[in-house]
């Protein structure tokens, strides 16, 4: 892909990083801050991420989320957001999947759910920065909420 990279100013961004692995969460936080991101909010699960997203005083511009987590996977969180299950969360919020899986079923489900970026661990600052720029630089047309609810989710591994 040799598309031009549209640069997004990072200093005003509020990014929600979600990963149940504390070491990865701290690493992503440090890399985003080194890249100049204004605010990084960390969450150790999809369920706590939903509480953060529900708080109208905390405007989130982008979500970077692990796939494999207990209770609710990153793909399930993405599907629920795109389907409009949460009134305080814009359905088109930039969503970047961060996962140790490059499995075809996970990638296909993420693409069908209009994920804005996909990073396979181990994450690097470069891959993170490029994914954020691409997520904001690639507009997409949302499908009807019902189309997202029918997407088959990959089995949890």
- The string of pLDDT tens digits covering residues 79-109 is 999 999 998 899 999 999 998 877 888 999 9
Element housing 127 (H / E): helix 125-137
- pLDDT one-digit tens code per residue, 15-35: 999 999 999 999 999 999 999
Q: What's the mean per-residue pLDDT of the chain?
A: 91
Question: What pLDDT is attached to residue 5?
Answer: 53
pTM exceeding the 0.85 threshold for the entire prediction: yes
Question: What pLDDT is attached to residue 85?
Answer: 94
Could you tell me if residue 43 is left (phi over 0), alpha (psi between -120 and 50 degrees) or otherwise beta? beta
Q: What is d(CA 77, CA 71) in angstroms, rounded to the nearest whole number? A: 10
Domains with residue ranges and CATH for the chain: 14-138 (3.40.50.2300)
For the cut 70, the answer to whether the pLDDT of residue 155 exceeds it is yes
For the cut 70, the answer to whether the pLDDT of residue 1 exceeds it is no
């Amino acid at each position: 892909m040799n598309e031009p990279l549209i640069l997004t100013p990072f200093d005003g961004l509020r990014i929600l990083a979600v990963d149940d692995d504390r070491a990865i969460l701290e690493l992503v936080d440090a890399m985003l801050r080194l890249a100049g991101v204004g605010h990084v909010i960390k969450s150790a699960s999809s369920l706590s991420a939903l509480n953060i997203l529900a708080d109208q005083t905390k405007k989130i511009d982008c979500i970077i989320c692990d796939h494999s987590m207990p209770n609710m996977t990153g793909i399930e969180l993405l599907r629920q957001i795109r389907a409009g299950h949460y009134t305080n969360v814009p359905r088109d919020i930039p969503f970047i999947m961060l996962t140790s899986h490059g499995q075809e079923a996970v990638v296909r489900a993420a693409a069908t759910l209009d994920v804005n970026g996909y990073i396979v661990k181990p994450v690097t600052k470069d891959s993170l920065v490029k994914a954020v720029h691409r997520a904001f630089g690639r507009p997409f047309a949302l499908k009807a909420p019902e189309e997202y609810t029918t997407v088959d989710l990959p089995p949890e591994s």
